[in-house]
Structures are given as structure tokens and as C-alpha cells.
Amino acid sequence: MAGAGRQTSAAIKAVVLGGMILAANWLRQNCWRDGVVVTIAPALYAIGVTAMYERQYYIAAGFYVASIVYGASKIMRWEDAKGDVGTLQRRIASGLVIMSAAVVFSLSYWWIDHTKAQREMDSRSVTVPLNKDSESKSEVFLNPGEHPCELMTIMPIPLDKHTTWISEQLMPPTCDDDSAHSTVVKGVTVAFDNRGSSTDHNIRVKMVFGNSWVKSVKCDARIDILEGPEGREVSGGLYLVARELFPDEGHSCHADFVNRVEAPTVQSWLDRFGSVKGASDLYNTIDVYTHRINFGVLERVTGGPRPYRRTMTINPK
């Protein structure tokens, strides 16, 4: 019985090896045919896309390279086959093919990087529905050495999916084990989000900070700064407009203050500067959601996406 099993196994291996050899010979003879190229090149790219969404980013990059090189090589062979084309023209055509391939790969690499960053952000937090009138808690998972108390970029918050939002986040976030920054506001991040089902236009908000001068402001390309600091000139406020927001689209601006502002709570900030309202073409009035994020004490966890965890509290008071 054992001898028969070994013979069967050897026969299967021989069949598989023979099939691989036949396939290799077929590809060697036919790989440059037009029909084969237009089938295999997109198939290789599609495999790369699948690998990318399965978080196999290096494998995805490899398939992207294989697809692009294969397709570009076919085009260059096609150009070389034109006997009536001069050497200079062939070189120009080859250069254009190489440049086009480089552009396609650069865009593919950006796609991988963007997808990876989005997946990284999605895996950092476990969110709960946001309550505009009371604090909302979630969990954020971190790598060793990451200090969210010093973050000066906006943290994603789960917004209601039915309207246009404008939010004002006091920066930086606070941490329960870092009292040095618990009362200090160094700047604000203003975010515009369309969580409705219709495109909105001219989403705008004007903020006045008085003597807490704004020294700099950086916005996404989709947001216009109508009033704010220019060059070395500081500003006592901001007037920001998002000209168009499609459903589920969001953009933000970050403003830094000249001096630190003492504000132990969000309510103390509102008492000093007042509540802010915005507007848009779809909504005559938009209540700006002013909040600050607090991170709890660092905890070590097992089985999470990262070795450490903090409780993240979105606090509007």
C-alpha cells in the first residue's frame, strides 16, 4: 500500500511539473501576442489591487510593477517592429513609454500609500456614535513612543450622517498622565464635513479670537481663507469657506496662536470667545461643534492591533 501511495504521489508531481513546463513553453511562445498582453497585463494589475486591499502591500507593488513593465515592454516591441520609423522617432516613442510607465507606477504607489494610511487610521480607533451634548468615548490603539497629547492634527470623530458639519477642535489634545498641557490651547483645527446625501456649497464660518492672535493657518486645497494672517501679519480671527463639499467629503484647516490660551474646559473657552455659527447654501445656520479630545492613561493590551491603548473622550464641555 505504501509503495502504491508513493507511486501515486510521484505521478501527481510529474503531471504538475509537466503542466508547468507546458504552460511556461506556451507563455514563452505567445507572451508577446496582442491578445495575451491585453489579458495578462490587466490581470496582473487586478491581482495587485486585491493584494493591496488584503494589506499585502509589497506583493501589490510587485504585481503593479510586473503589469506595468509587461505592458510597456509590449508597446516598445511594437514600436521597434515598425521598420519605416526612424531611430530618433523610436527613441522618442520609447522615452514617452518609459515616462508614462513611471507616472502609472507613481500613481499606483500613491494609491498603495493612501490605502495603507487609511487602513492604519481605521485600525487605531474603535468609535461609538457621537453625542453633541455630552462626552463620547472610544478606544485608540498606539505603538510604543506615540504621544497623542502632542498631536496638532485633527482626530477623526464619528459624525451624524444627515447634515453638513463644521467642527472646532481645541489643540493639542490632553492626556490624563500629562498635566503640563491640560489647560493650554495652542491653536484650533476647523473641519468641514458633508454627512448628508446632497452636495453642499459655500460652507463658511467666521471666528474671532480677539487678542489671542492667529500667527499662521494651513488649509486643505478645497478651503479658501478669506480672512486670516498674511505673511508676518497676525490676525484676530478667521473667515473660512469650503466652496463645494460632496457627500462624505471633508476638509480641514489648522490655525496656530501667537500666545497660549488658558482654557481648562471647553466651556471656559466658549465663555471667553463665544459659540460660533456657520452657514452654507443648504443650511442658513450651522452650529459649530466646539470640542476637545482627552486621552486616558496609557494601558498595555494583548491581542489588539497595537500593544498600547488609551481611552479617547470627545468632550464638548
- pLDDT for 128 equals 37
**Dist. CA 295–CA 312, nearest whole Å:** 5
pLDDT of 125: 37
Residue 159 DSSP one-character state: -
- Three-class SS state of 10: helix
Q: Is the whole-model pTM more than 0.85?
A: no
C-alpha cell at 16: 504538475
Q: Among residues 197, 221, 217, 223, which one has the least CA distance to residue 278?
A: 223
Per-residue confidence (pLDDT) for residue 315, from 0 to 100: 81
Nearest-angstrom CA–CA distance, 105 and 228: 39
Q: What is the pLDDT of residue 131?
A: 52
Please report the pLDDT score of residue 87 as a whole number.
66
- Residue ranges of the chain with pLDDT lower than 50? 1-2, 5, 121-130, 152, 154
What the block records as the C-alpha cell of 148 is 497623542
CA distance 221 to 238: 16
CA atoms of 191 and 290, how far apart (whole Å) = 10
Report the percentage of the chain scoring pLDDT > 70: 64
- pLDDT for residue 126: 37
Q: Do residues 243 and 222 make contact, with C-beta atoms less than 8 angstroms apart?
A: yes
Contact criterion met (CB below 8 Å) for 61 and 104: no
Pairing of strands 125-126, 136-142: antiparallel
Output the pLDDT for position 151: 55
pLDDT score of 49: 82
* Confidence (pLDDT) at 305: 73
Give 98-152 pLDDT, tens digit per residue. 787 788 778 877 777 777 665 554 444 333 344 555 566 666 666 666 666 655 4
